[in-house]
Amino acid sequence: MKRLTLFLMLMMIPAMAYADIEEFRYFSLNVPEGWTAVESGDVVSVSADDKSGSLSITAGSPKGKSIAELAVSFSNELKGTKPVSDDEGNYTFELNNGISQAMITGDEDFYMLIIGTGFVSNGETLGEILGSLEMK
């Protein structure tokens, strides 16, 4: 019985690093302990409490614009680099002198702009947060 209890406690350690799944208008995701998520309109901001990293996810209707047009519009608004497309029709650009990376994806009905900012040490955590994202 002691072994089973110890095993169960050890299995729960990774799960304790994350708070409960947080629900937002368009999606849900896991927010790690030491990070805070706030939804304001179409934007969900997830940031480290120590300000070492953040993730901004904007989602909604493209209102008749193509993803390419949205990419140029957001890049101009945020003073980013020229958007570059990939083979799947997603666009990426940098802002804040390369400190932030942005990607926009979607179609004629829905788009999602994701901006990650932070120290290299937070790269894995930002990836885990994005990896937990589930659309509704």
Segment 57-77, tens digit of pLDDT: 999 999 999 999 999 999 999
99 band by pLDDT with thresholds 50, 70 and 90: confident
What pLDDT does 106 receive? Answer: 94
What pLDDT does 70 receive? Answer: 97
What pLDDT does 126 receive? Answer: 84
Of the candidate CATH numbers 3.40.1000, 3.40.50, 1.10.3470, 3.30.70, the domain formed by 2-135 belongs to 3.40.1000
Cα 46–Cα 9–Cα 47 angle in degrees, nearest 5 = 10
Contact status, residue 32 vs residue 19, Cβ threshold 8 Å = yes
List the structure tokens of 122: 């937070």
What pLDDT does 19 receive? Answer: 62
Domain ranges of the chain: 2-135
Q: In this predicted model, what pLDDT tens digit does every residue of 1-34 receive, in sequence order?
A: 333 333 433 344 344 355 678 999 999 999 988 8
